[in-house]
Structure 1
Amino acid sequence: MTTPRRVQQQPAYLLHHRPFRDSSQILDIVTRDHGKIALVARGSRGSKSRLAGVLRPFLPLNVSWVARSDLGTLTGAEAAGPPVGIRGDGILSAFYVNELLLNFLHRHDPQPEIFALYREVISVLGSTSNIAVSLRSFELELLSLLGYAVNFRQESGTQRQLDPEQHYDYRMEQGPVPVGRTEGPMVFSGAALLSVQSQEFDDPAVLRAANRLLRAIIAHHLGGKKLKSRKVLMELHRGRIATPDERNPESE
């Protein structure tokens, strides 16, 4: 018989939940020291459950569980801090961040640096109006921590430093390749690529380039899998005319 493994008071966040049987849920949780895990929360959908107000996205938690297999059982959960006040486009953007972790992280693979990065971006999304900048920075850092670090500083093959005046075709698994044209799905100026690498997003054109570039790179590493939250966010913006203060380059 497998000896149950018990974990107490582990810092965590809820990434996703889905109904299980009559009144329970299966939770996908990211933890600081145990990576992404799946837990059954028995009775958590019941009207008298003490967990109803605790098992919420973006709320810092301390969770306890017991596991004999890949799917564990939640034995306790409590808030470890106040909820993050995310609203508007920030909510969809935070769910997009959750989707990235759900798709990229492997179960039971501890990634404390990614946990810290997640905690930071969730906090920032609750306090900033410049959501797109926060997301682009998060995507770059996440790719690096996952081992998919991108190179926007050197030419593919020659390793020469990029020329700000030259245009480059960014090719997956290779990097920037100099080209004689200025347009194309993955053609960017050297100046834009260098700014993206340095996370210098003051220029709206650079921010749009970063969005286009990172969207393609993430899609490549996801094997073309579509992210629901990104699609919803883009459709939301297509369905209305945003004011300058509302406009979010995430959708451009």
Structure 2
Amino acid sequence: MLALSQPAFVLHSRAYRESSALVDFLTPQGRLRAVLRGARGKAGTLARPFVALDAEFRGRSELKNVSRLEATGFPMLIAGQALFSGLYLNELLIRLLPAEDPHPLLFDHYAMTLQALAEGRAIEPLLRSFEWRLLGELGYGFALDSDVQGEPIAPEGLYRLQTEEGMVPVGQFQPGVFQGKELLAMAEADWSAVGALAAAKRLMRQALAPHLGGKPLVSRELFMTLKEPVRD
């Protein structure tokens, strides 16, 4: 089978047999799982997250073989909270993205998000943007400026999320609801609006939860334990 060269990022890698690694890659053609032989040598140094790669894969089954792996630039220097955020994105993709389901726009968005994390840009807007893109690519997206009936979101209204459908107006405040002005700010990615980022985090958790099942995200738990260094 002809091996085609394509850009790739490593999402996760683990030891496999004596000297190989079982690696989950993100490529424009989707998430691929492949065996990387000689993982204890030079190739193994590339099988780590946040390194832009050029890769070739062989095989017709779901489990491929890596026939070539080369770095296309310097590793992105992602540390601290940004590092945990990158691991969170990787875990989301492993858990939610079907194998060999092409999403070239999602791949590009992922690469841009990693670059932004490496540049030290504000983390929360980057995460919310990526979660929203991922939901849309998987067919789980919904409108933020209109409700399930197609009516415009009212700034002073209250709404709850109906999974995989969209926002439903509610008559009075109840746990888990969102203000219309928060939804409209999200629709415009206006993160300067009061409460917009916090509301977006709650909304994305609600939207992602049914697709993640009951198993918690390891990266989210690690992120919650991350403490800022003590300053003198």
Same fold (TM over 0.5): yes
Residue number in structure 1 paired with 2:12:
16
Q: What percent of counterpart residues are identical? A: 36
SS at match of 1:200: coil
Deviation at 1:183, TM superposition (A): 4.0
Over the aligned positions, Cα root-mean-square deviation in angstroms equals 1.9
CA distance in 2 between counterparts of 1:174 and 1:35 reads 25
Deviation at 1:178, TM superposition (A): 2.1
1:215 and 2:205 correspond: yes
Q: Which residue among 164, 180, 193 is the counterpart of 1:190?
A: 180
Q: Where does the alignment leave 5 or more consecutive residues of structure 1 unmatched?
A: 244-252
Residue number in structure 2 paired with 1:133:
125
1:31 and 2:27 correspond: yes
For this pair of structures, how many residues does the alignment match?
Answer: 231
Residue number in structure 2 paired with 1:69:
61
1:101 and 2:89 correspond: no
Deviation at 1:80, TM superposition (A): 0.9
Q: Which residue among 164, 177, 181 is the counterpart of 1:173?
A: 164
Q: Which amino acid aligns with 1:234?
A: M
CA distance in 2 between counterparts of 1:12 and 1:42 reads 17
Q: TM-score, normalised by structure 1?
A: 0.85
CA distance in 2 between counterparts of 1:242 and 1:27 reads 36
CA distance in 2 between counterparts of 1:141 and 1:105 reads 12
Deviation at 1:71, TM superposition (A): 1.3
CA distance in 2 between counterparts of 1:242 and 1:213 reads 32
Deviation at 1:122, TM superposition (A): 0.8
Q: Which residue among 217, 224, 228 is the counterpart of 2:218?
A: 228
CA distance in 1 between counterparts of 2:89 and 2:36 reads 23
CA distance in 1 between counterparts of 2:137 and 2:70 reads 29
Deviation at 1:8, TM superposition (A): 3.7
Deviation at 1:128, TM superposition (A): 2.6
Q: Which amino acid aligns with 1:184?
A: P
CA distance in 1 between counterparts of 2:205 and 2:143 reads 15
CA distance in 2 between counterparts of 1:242 and 1:169 reads 39
Residue number in structure 2 paired with 1:143:
135
Deviation at 1:204, TM superposition (A): 5.1
SS at match of 1:52: helix
Contact 2:32/2:99, CA 8 A, preserved across alignment? yes
Contact 1:165/1:189, CA 8 A, preserved across alignment? yes
1:43 and 2:38 correspond: yes
Residue number in structure 2 paired with 1:79:
71
CA distance in 2 between counterparts of 1:204 and 1:19 reads 46
SS at match of 2:226: helix
Call closer, same or farther: CA 1:152–1:23 in 2, change over 3 Å. Answer: same
CA distance in 2 between counterparts of 1:74 and 1:241 reads 40
Residue number in structure 2 paired with 1:163:
154
Q: TM-score, normalised by structure 2?
A: 0.92
